[in-house]
């Protein structure tokens, strides 16, 4: 009798586990799937990077990473590339604009759209509404205009790469609010003016690249407060380097 009850109990447990497992399988959330389809509709995809973006489960699409627990989209990884070696050419990128539907991806932590062609458009300010972002790479995208001051509100951001665009204006002092930022690359571009002293507030910063812009004036002494800084790139800088590194000169690479 006891054995029979145990068998029944085990059967029930197995059924429950199968149901629970089925319920928690990664399945695309309809609202987020629709957001991705709107993003896709706003671009031209000459190299079929998004050819898999048609099946019901967007968590299985190329470049998409979802949470194993909630099925929310956590990562959007769609870097393009242009490779030329002797007579061999390899190209793969998307063209157009970043659609505001990405605002619906509220749990997004990782966004890489580097080396695509968004030429003639500005970096969208609405990306700042993705408050969970930890990694943002928009390098080599042919963006014009200024760095959005709204980017200073990324409380979780650790990596920001805006290099190799056509950005103008000054470096927003609001970037000094990025308390968790470890990597900041904003060169080469066409940024002007002085380096804001507020960058010295980014206490976790390890890599800072300002090279090949049109910056001028003294490098603010506050950069000497960056105790974790390991790499500082200033190639093509016309100003004066006068910072107090607290005796850590041997630990910082100036390039």
Q: How far apart are CA 205 and CA 227, in angstroms?
A: 8
Over the stretch 42-56, which tens digit does the pLDDT of each residue have?
A: 999 999 999 999 999
pLDDT at residue 245 in the model: 55
Residue range(s) defining the domain that contains residue 172 = 29-254
Cβ contact 235:255 at 8 Å: yes
Query: Does the pLDDT value for residue 188 go beyond 70?
Result: yes
The contacts found for 135-138 with CB under 8 angstroms, 24 or more apart, are 135/109, 135/110, 135/111, 135/159, 136/111, 136/112, 136/160, 136/161, 137/79, 137/111, 137/112, 137/113, 137/161, 138/113, 138/114, 138/162, 138/165
Is there a domain that residue 237 lies in? yes
DSSP label of 146 = -
Is there a domain that residue 216 lies in? yes
Report residue 109 as tokens.
Answer: 């932590």
Query: Does the pLDDT value for residue 151 go beyond 80?
Result: yes
Q: Tokens 């490779």 appear where?
A: 83
Is there a domain that residue 122 lies in? yes
Report residue 18 as tokens.
Answer: 């199968």
Identify which has the larger pLDDT, 148 or 89: 148
Q: pLDDT confidence of 3, banded at 50, 70, 90? A: very low
Over the stretch 116-130, which tens digit does the pLDDT of each residue have?
A: 999 889 999 999 999
Q: What is the distance in angstroms between the CA of the first residue and the CA of the last residue of the chain?
A: 79
When pLDDT is averaged across residues 101-128 and rounded to a whole number, the result is 97
Of 132, 156, 253, 254, nearest in space to 204 by CA = 156
Please give the tally of structural domains in the chain: 1
When pLDDT is averaged across residues 200-223 and rounded to a whole number, the result is 96
pTM for the whole structure: 0.86
Is there a domain that residue 74 lies in? yes
Query: Does the pLDDT value for residue 68 go beyond 70?
Result: yes
- In percent, the amount of the chain with pLDDT more than 90 equals 75
Look up the CATH number of the domain holding residue 199.
3.80.10.10
Query: Does the pLDDT value for residue 24 go beyond 60?
Result: no
When pLDDT is averaged across residues 101-114 and rounded to a whole number, the result is 99
Is there a domain that residue 33 lies in? yes
Is there a domain that residue 24 lies in? no
């Amino acid at each position: 009798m006891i054995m029979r009850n145990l068998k029944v109990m085990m059967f029930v447990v197995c059924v429950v586990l199968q149901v629970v497992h089925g319920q928690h399988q990664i399945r695309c959330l309809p609202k987020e799937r629709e957001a991705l389809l709107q993003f896709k509709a706003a671009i031209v995809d000459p190299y079929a990077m998004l050819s898999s973006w048609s099946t019901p489960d967007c968590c299985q699409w190329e470049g998409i990473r979802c949470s194993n627990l909630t099925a929310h989209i956590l990562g959007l990884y769609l870097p393009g590339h242009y490779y030329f070696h002797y007579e061999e050419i390899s190209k793969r990128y998307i063209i157009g604009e970043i659609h505001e539907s990405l605002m619906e991806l509220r749990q997004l932590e990782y966004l890489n759209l580097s080396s695509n062609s968004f030429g003639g458009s500005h970096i969208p300010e609405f990306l700042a509404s993705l408050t969970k972002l930890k990694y943002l790479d928009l390098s080599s995208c042919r963006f014009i205009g200024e760095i959005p001051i709204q980017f200073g509100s990324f409380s979780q951001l650790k990596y920001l790469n805006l290099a190799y665009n056509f950005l103008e204006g000054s470096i927003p002092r609001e970037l000094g609010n990025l308390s968790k930022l470890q990597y900041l690359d904003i060169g080469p571009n066409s940024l002007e003016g002085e380096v804001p002293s507020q960058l010295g507030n980014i206490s976790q910063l390890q890599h800072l690249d300002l090279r090949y812009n049109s910056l001028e004036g003294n490098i603010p002494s506050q950069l000497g407060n960056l105790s974790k800084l390991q790499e500082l790139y200033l190639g093509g800088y016309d100003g004066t380097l006068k910072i107090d590194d607290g005796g850590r000169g041997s630990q910082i690479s100036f390039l």
